[in-house]
């Protein structure tokens, strides 16, 4: 008998309404996803402020912001870090987009980015670096899971243009 090959295929969230949420923002107040209808939204989850991979990812989004702006896209970075941590991170690297604090992990769980991870035989819970491209109608257009930072901003821009 032959082996059954299962393709990863598109993420199960693609084409569906993006789960709504409200989180405290690094720019003050709260951001409610549904209030951004009419704009494209790049919602990216990252493990921790001011760590090498997360800094590289944030700076690549920062450097591409004029292009994101031209595509009528709002970039939102989400981690479990506090607003105070986000503020230091944003100031240190002159980040020009909003960071959201999900200390209770509710939104991480809503988007299935809080995962059991394994690193050098050590198992722990952490954020799976993921990006969700949400269209102007609030539907998930594209999902990137287990993101590799190098060139990711270009992949996201390509998904926005598609």
54 in catalytic set: yes
Q: How far apart are CA 25 and CA 40, in angstroms?
A: 18
The residue from 18, 23, 31, 54 that is catalytic is: 54
Q: How far is CA 147 from CA 4, 18, 35, in A?
A: 27, 19, 27
Catalytic residues: 54
């Amino acid at each position: 008998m032959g082996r059954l090959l299962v393709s990863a295929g598109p993420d199960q969230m693609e084409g569906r309404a993006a789960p709504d949420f409200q989180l405290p923002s690094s720019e003050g107040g709260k951001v409610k996803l549904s209030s951004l209808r009419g704009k494209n939204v790049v919602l990216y989850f990252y493990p921790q402020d001011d760590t090498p991979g997360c800094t590289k990812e944030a700076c690549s989004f920062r450097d591409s912001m004029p292009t994101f702006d031209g595509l009528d896209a709002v970039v939102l970075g989400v981690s479990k870090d506090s607003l105070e941590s986000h503020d230091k991170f944003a100031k240190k690297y002159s980040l020009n987009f909003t960071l959201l604090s999900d200390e209770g992990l509710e939104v991480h769980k809503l988007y299935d980015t809080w995962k059991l991870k394994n690193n050098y035989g050590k198992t722990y819970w952490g954020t799976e670096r993921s990006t969700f491209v949400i269209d102007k109608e609030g539907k998930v257009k594209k999902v990137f899971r287990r993101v590799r930072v190098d060139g990711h901003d270009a992949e996201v821009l390509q998904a926005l243009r598609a």
